[in-house]
Chains A and B, each alone.
Chain A
């Protein structure tokens, strides 16, 4: 693009050079945070590889963060909590949520040396809501395929309750890390305002009409355990 206006703008660029690559500390800090759960769920073959990378960086982050604990905690702000809190949230949420018969709560694993890693407050509860949702979806698929109407009705009711009481959709234009305010006392998960929640509801409507294809796909990629 050689237009004179563009050329003039380029010459006037107030920051002509980008900075150097990120420091290892920042990289480690970011990658020690929980990654994209959707990616982990949909790309199982890559998950182990990524988990190994995250583990490696989490270990590095633990060393770095331990030496600069005050500065890091100041930088990260008050809405991030350490693994014991997240684990406690996860365990507490299990008492407020139900799983279908035959299902058990998946183990919530943190890297062994990640005591200084952090995650968003409420993420433990959100993890439990997601695990419950995926379990009920799989249960529903089986119920539809075995023509077990009672089980299907139970799954539908459980999933509707999860969407009604434990699921929020961020408002349009909300920041990526939006959480309801005040923070709900019951476990919750948040969907971005990008149509994802609508697609899930549509999948449940199909399942209620006897078409398990959409939730079967979700079960296939997200099946807990």
Chain B
């Protein structure tokens, strides 16, 4: 389980956490306290789900703080943004629903199989495959729209159909 600490920190960083190492440490602490809930064969889906909750909770706290801000300086940043992503892709991803985006990123960035990603999201594998298919279509459509908006950049996007 502890061998995945780096992967969990990377997950948190990819989801825009400002203190990914602290999130990862907290995930491991929770996992230690709830060891009987952590799947022994592959704990990653469970660990990522826990990290997701922590990152979101942190984002909500930041948003609340920002909403109630009184102009005093604060070290809390805006809600999570995916760092260092190309703007077109970032915008297209941001336009997706949270679950669609997460379905895509669990497979693409966390390298989970659809079954593992489904487990992490708490849905069955069939539902996940449907969601992933739709998410891919939506992302492709958003990128195509963006590319049409910028006229002659379609070749740059290197899109294919499935």
Q: How large is the interface on B (under 10, 10 to 19, 20 to 34, 35 or more residues)?
A: 35 or more
- Is A176 interfacial (CB 8 A cutoff)? yes
Given the known interface contacts A8-B89, A19-B9, A26-B5, the answer about A13 and B33 at a Cβ–Cβ threshold of 8 Å is: no
- Rounded to whole Å, the gap between the CB of A56 and the closest CB of chain B is 15
Other-chain contact of B107, A1, A22, A42 (Cβ < 8 Å): A1
Q: How large is the interface on A (under 10, 10 to 19, 20 to 34, 35 or more residues)?
A: 20 to 34
Residue contact B34 to A176, C-beta cutoff 8 Å: yes
- Is B23 interfacial (CB 8 A cutoff)? no
- Rounded to whole Å, the gap between the CB of A178 and the closest CB of chain B is 11
- Is A225 interfacial (CB 8 A cutoff)? no
The majority secondary structure among interface residues of chain B is helix
The majority secondary structure among interface residues of chain A is loop
- Rounded to whole Å, the gap between the CB of B73 and the closest CB of chain A is 21
Residues of A with C-beta under 8 A to B2:
21-22, 27, 30
Residue contact A9 to B109, C-beta cutoff 8 Å: yes
Residues of B with C-beta under 8 A to A20:
6
What is the interface of chain B, defined by CB distance below 8 A to chain A?
2-3, 5-7, 9-10, 13-14, 21, 25, 28-30, 32-37, 50, 53-54, 57, 82-86, 89, 104-105, 107-109, 136, 139-140, 143, 158-160, 162
Residues from 1 to 40 in A contacting B, C-beta threshold 8 Å: 1, 3-6, 8-10, 12-15, 17-22, 26-27, 30-31, 33-36, 38-39
Given the known interface contacts A22-B28, A36-B36, A176-B33, the answer about A9 and B9 at a Cβ–Cβ threshold of 8 Å is: no
Given the known interface contacts A26-B25, A27-B2, A177-B30, the answer about A5 and B139 at a Cβ–Cβ threshold of 8 Å is: yes
Given the known interface contacts A15-B10, A22-B6, A36-B36, the answer about A30 and B29 at a Cβ–Cβ threshold of 8 Å is: yes
